Chains A and B, each alone.
Chain A
């Protein structure tokens, strides 16, 4: 295996452990907002889409990349805003 791939595997496995550890004892009311917030983070695919559509040429791969940019951005922006709306309501109820 190449050195880059190995390093990437290390990063993947260690980040997974962080992901396991970072979630504990979440109250049920926060289940949906937490799911929604982490869903927004998974919109990070937008970075891959930017890289994939980075070449300044007209080809199918650039077009697909640009579609991916738009879709992932909907995921990111919509995700964070929806989460904020949920949490806003949550706060009003509690207060």
Chain B
């Protein structure tokens, strides 16, 4: 009988994952789209409720407070936003999701540092990936939001040596990650790579023009799915891995479809601003 609750949770996850797949499928055609959205929402509610029943979750009062605050802010925001501002609203929400995934990795890293001598290699790699993808999604989406909202100018922002700087930061991240995996207790390196991932998100999006932002948001949406999947590897939760992989893959396909509809290639959207400046290099 002791297995009853954990088995029930896993079976509910299976049901929730099926609802997500069904919902995404229905979202793709006009007649069933609204229905599909509702089905996915039911799946999400189910997944959240059964996770709260997990016997390792003892802190449910505080978590319920967090859920209530998040729901209120989300609902008010969703009804307050103008229909014309929808793309940046999606970008903003996406950034919050990415931030949440990255925070899960940071929280787990901290917990492991406090409670155990060593961090298992696979967990450590998942944490590094989660911080990387989640961090880029967070700041990248924030810049996309700022550009569409008119806080930043929409035209591409370029400066000399932009690409080499990005490449150097990327290399620094990889090197930092390897160091961290070898000596997990080095907090300085962990904070360093977290900072790099946040910076890379900004630098990745500022050279892209406002008109291409919907495609960028779609790509960042795909990334936030991957971040959630990475978080799933960190805490070893199948539901996170399935939903994250679904969003990661379907988001990538959708990004390609959107590019095709604009007669552009994804490469020219992402690196188009460098076309004139970096043609020689």
| Contact across chains for B107 and A19 when beta carbons are under 8 A apart | no
Q: Does B248 contact A (CB under 8 A)?
A: yes
Residues of B within 8 A of A40 (CB): 37, 40-41, 44, 93
The complex places the Cα of A12 from the Cα of B6 at a distance, in Å, of 21
| Contact across chains for B97 and A75 when beta carbons are under 8 A apart | yes
Residues of B within 8 A of A42 (CB): 94, 97, 221, 224-225, 227-228, 243-244, 247, 251
| Contact across chains for A19 and B234 when beta carbons are under 8 A apart | no
Q: Which secondary structure characterizes the binding site on chain A?
A: helix
| Contact across chains for A75 and B111 when beta carbons are under 8 A apart | no
| Contact across chains for B86 and A82 when beta carbons are under 8 A apart | yes
Q: Residue-by-residue, is A46-78 near B (CB-CB < 8 Å gives 1, otherwise 0)?
A: 111111111110011110111111111111111
- Contact of A62 with B59 at beta-carbon distance under 8 Å, contacts A50-B52, A78-B93 already known: yes
The complex places the Cα of A42 from the Cα of B244 at a distance, in Å, of 6
User: Shortest beta-carbon distance, B53 to chain A, in Å?
Assistant: 11
| Contact across chains for B28 and A22 when beta carbons are under 8 A apart | yes
| Contact across chains for B100 and A68 when beta carbons are under 8 A apart | yes
User: Shortest beta-carbon distance, A80 to chain B, in Å?
Assistant: 4
B107 contacts which of A13, A35, A53, A56 (Cβ < 8 Å)?
Answer: A53
| Contact across chains for B93 and A48 when beta carbons are under 8 A apart | no
The complex places the Cα of A78 from the Cα of B233 at a distance, in Å, of 26
Q: Does B254 contact A (CB under 8 A)?
A: yes
- Contact of A33 with B57 at beta-carbon distance under 8 Å, contacts A38-B247, A77-B78 already known: no
| Contact across chains for B240 and A48 when beta carbons are under 8 A apart | yes
| Contact across chains for B243 and A41 when beta carbons are under 8 A apart | yes
Q: Does B166 contact A (CB under 8 A)?
A: no
Q: Which residue of B lies closest to A5 (CB)?
A: B122
Q: Does B278 contact A (CB under 8 A)?
A: no
B249 contacts which of A19, A36, A68, A75 (Cβ < 8 Å)?
Answer: A19
User: Shortest beta-carbon distance, A73 to chain B, in Å?
Assistant: 3
The complex places the Cα of A68 from the Cα of B104 at a distance, in Å, of 7
A52 contacts which of B23, B94, B224, B235 (Cβ < 8 Å)?
Answer: B235
Residues of B within 8 A of A87 (CB): 33-34, 37
Return the 10 tightest CB-CB contacts between A and B, nearest first.
A73-B70, A19-B249, A77-B74, A78-B74, A81-B78, A69-B66, A15-B245, A72-B100, A68-B103, A54-B57
Interface CB pairs A-B, < 8 A, 20: A2-B122, A4-B236, A8-B233, A8-B236, A15-B17, A19-B249, A30-B30, A35-B217, A42-B251, A43-B44, A67-B103, A69-B67, A71-B99, A74-B73, A76-B48, A78-B74, A79-B90, A81-B74, A82-B93, A89-B83
Give the interface of B toward A (CB within 8 A): 17, 20-21, 23-25, 27-30, 33-34, 36-38, 40-41, 44, 47-48, 51-52, 54, 56-59, 62-63, 65-67, 69-71, 73-75, 77-79, 81, 83, 86-87, 89-90, 93-94, 96-97, 99-101, 103-104, 106-108, 110-111, 114, 122, 214, 217-218, 221, 224-225, 227-229, 231-254, 257-258, 261
